Amino acid sequence: MAYIQMKSIVASEGHPGLVLSLTLRMEGGLPMKVTSRDFDELREMHYLHAAITEAMRLYPPVAMDSHCCQNDDVLPDGTFVGKGWQVTYSAYAMARLEELWGADCEEFRPERWLDEDGVFRPESPFKYPVFHGGPRMCLGKEMAYIQMKSIAACVFERFSFRFVGGEGRPGLVFSVTLRMEGGLPMRVKKRRDSVC
């Protein structure tokens, strides 16, 4: 989970106001003095939810997934899939398709997940397959979001981050899970108004 939050910070490198925006929106623009949050407070952090979702859209933890067809079947678009055939999809590549996400598909833009009132608006799990879809949907999805938001809120209110890895984005290593090549060099600084 910390991996995803750090991806959010890396992705925000071209958006200097993002971390500030996340920080202010977590407390409605008020100074942060909260030492813990309850379930309802975490559920109401729509912008943070959108930022985490956008980070996972661009950098899905499982970049590619494969399944073996148990019986002959036909996909919703009419494509025949025979018994025993291997079917693979790439959530990483899907996140970069203009047909799915628009001309700004390669940009980190949490606002794409918010409605006009700033409330998180999910997409179809077949368009955003990070937690899979249908009968194979991840049962722990909601708990994962609560955990990620809890950790991110705690970390962002207490520390500031600056990417110190040079120009460009870190390289990626495609394996069972997507990870960064060489880690993520960051300068971490405790906030002056932090309560910890």
Residue positions forming the annotated binding site: 138
Q: Are 110 and 51 in contact (CB under 8 A)?
A: yes
What one-letter code names the amino acid at 68? C
Q: Are 92 and 64 in contact (CB under 8 A)?
A: yes
- Inter-axis angle of helices 46-58 and 141-158, to 10 degrees? 110
What one-letter code names the amino acid at 16? P
Rounded Cα distance, 115 and 120, in Å: 7
Task: Write out the binding residues for heme.
Answer: 138
